[in-house]
Amino acid sequence: MEKIQLLEYIRQQVELMSKHNQIEVLRLLNESEEIVTLNENNYGIFVNLSDLSDNLLEKINNYIEYWKKQEHNLKHIEHKKQTYKTIFFSNNIKDNSKVYNNAEQSI
């Protein structure tokens, strides 16, 4: 990926993150051995990504990939949970063994 594209990708992904995950990105910046300039105002904290080293950009990119995998896994688990909830708790079925076997086949 070209550096400009990488910087744009990082910016877009960090903007999509929750506040907790954005704080983790800031922690990565703060824990680095490099001098990183952070600009803070009423709208948040801003970082000039073009001033960061390739090594630090790679660390941030790795965290983004980790975050995306976690989000995907959480969505998958929530979907399974909702499926089980719909199958087992919304129907008045006395014999859940038949339903359970059908549920396992559908998931």
Backbone angles phi, psi at 47, to 5 degrees: -130, 135
The structure's pTM equals: 0.76
Lowest pLDDT segment from 34-38, 80-84, 85-89, 92-96: 92-96
Poorest-confidence range of 16-25, 57-66, 96-105?
A: 96-105
pLDDT for position 106: 59
**Is the pLDDT score of 91 beyond 70?**
no
Query: What's the per-residue H, E or C state across the chain?
Result: CCHHHHHHHHHHHHHHCCHHHHHHHHHHHHHCCCCCCEEEECCEEEECHHHCCHHHHHHHHHHHHHHHHHHHHHHHHHHHHHHHHHHHHCCCCCCHHHHHHHHHHHC
**What is the pLDDT of the chain when averaged over all its residues?**
87
Q: What are the pLDDT digits (tens) for 9-31?
A: 999 999 999 999 999 999 999 99
